[in-house]
Chain A
């Protein structure tokens, strides 16, 4: 079965640079989530989109922005990168509806800021 696809899998950027992560949800899933997992930490919710509209916002820095496109793929844009932004970024998707949602996670994109 198709899973959540994230690209790139690994990314190295310098401080103050910009990075863009892409996420392709499972087909027919209408909700996309972004999570950030720092080294040795639990995943922290950043932001989510439902039907291309922002549906919830977590601890996403102002330097970060995200959007969901008409084909439901999503991009997380990170500017003025800081060393502390080095983390594993997960995208996840789900299909909204009654009965409880299971969120399916991608393999993650490793961002290293040097």
Chain B
């Protein structure tokens, strides 16, 4: 079984500042890792994913994440945020076989301040 921990429930940051949203996972087997963004009253949109290969993954909207197996982390970063990045961000993990169901973290609310 897998689990995901997002330690920060809320992260306020000023516009054009860098941000890092933390995600740690637990699993006894190999995993795939994902970051999704949810804007108010909307569905879940995939930002990026790590399946294998390079541990630095680049996604949409200027986001990137780095898979660190030794620290079981998959932190999301953006060098300069915009007001429009204000949203809820979910980290998710799945196994690499079977039904690929996702286990989500509890989410981090990113609030970008002007």
Contact = CB atoms under 8 A, between A and B. Distances in A.
Contacts, number: 56
B106 A45 contact: no
A45 B90 contact: no
B93 to A, nearest CB: 12
B99 A55 contact: yes
A27 B101 CA distance: 19
Nearest to A91: B43
Interface centre among B52, B90, B101 (most CB of A within 10 A): B101
Nearest to B90: A42
Contact of B96 (A45, A100, A108): A100
A102 B49 contact: yes
A90 B102 contact: no
B51 A100 contact: yes
Given A99-B51, A100-B51, A101-B94, A106 B43 contact: yes
Interface string A23-56: 0000000010100000001111100101000011
Contact of B103 (A31, A45, A55, A104): A45
A72 interface: no
Q: Chain B, interface size: which category? A: 20 to 34
A58 B44 contact: no
A43 B90 contact: yes
B104 interface: yes
A96 B102 CA distance: 14
Contacts of A96: 100
Interface in A79-114: 90, 92, 94, 96, 99-108
A102 B33 CA distance: 10
Nearest to A58: B101
Given A50-B99, A107-B43, 17 more contacts: A31-B99, A31-B100, A43-B102, A56-B98, A56-B99, A92-B44, A94-B100, A100-B49, A100-B52, A102-B34, A102-B46, A103-B100, A104-B46, A105-B44, A105-B45, A106-B43, A108-B42
